[in-house]
Structure 1
């Protein structure tokens, strides 16, 4: 069990939104574009972009290709992987 307050807050933040939870589940061990994520979890791409921005601010995902304009790839941070492991258990 985690006793780090910041990680517990991140777990609660993700669990408060089915979309955030589904994004983390979809990014499990793979890189994906916002379009791929949106198609997989049935959410419009513009909403996915907003969700990814929020997840980035909470250090749960990162953009692996920040210098390109279209088709950016996203992945989980170490904190994102920890939260995902907690959700999956």
Structure 2
């Protein structure tokens, strides 16, 4: 996993942004609305929507409730969980 080019690109993409890093650390293994994520990491909801959209493009988060208009729930993908695990290991070092 550590030598996988896609994984390394995902890690680099997250690490260059404090907001993206904080979102992954905040979400862990839970489902959250964009408002909850924004409140949890201290970022306005409209900016969170952009960040979540970007994280979806990198296959780090997914919308668990795509068919509802308000109150969508987001969670980490398997790739997102792997990047989160890597980031947490780096924090412990």
- 2:51 is the alignment partner of 1:70: no
Query: For the residues of structure 1 that align with 2:39 and 2:4, how far apart are their CA atoms?
Result: 34
Secondary structure of the corresponding residue to residue 32 of structure 1: coil
Query: For the residues of structure 1 that align with 2:26 and 2:71, how far apart are their CA atoms?
Result: 16
User: Per-residue displacement from partner, 1:36-83 (whole Å, max 9, x unpaired)?
Assistant: 000111100000000000000110000000000011000000000000
* Structure 2 unaligned spans of 5+: none
Correspondence 1:1-89 to 2 at 5 A: 2-89=2-89
Query: For the residues of structure 2 that align with 1:65 and 1:72, how far apart are their CA atoms?
Result: 5
Higher relative contact order (CA 8 A, sep 6+): 1
Query: For the residues of structure 2 that align with 1:40 and 1:4, how far apart are their CA atoms?
Result: 31
* Structure 1 unaligned spans of 5+: none
TM-score (norm 1): 0.98
Q: Which runs of 4+ in 1 moved over 2 A?
A: none
Query: May I ask how many residue pairs the two structures share in their alignment?
Result: 89
CA shift for structure 1 position 16: 0.4
Q: What is the RMSD computed on CA atoms of the aligned residues?
A: 0.8
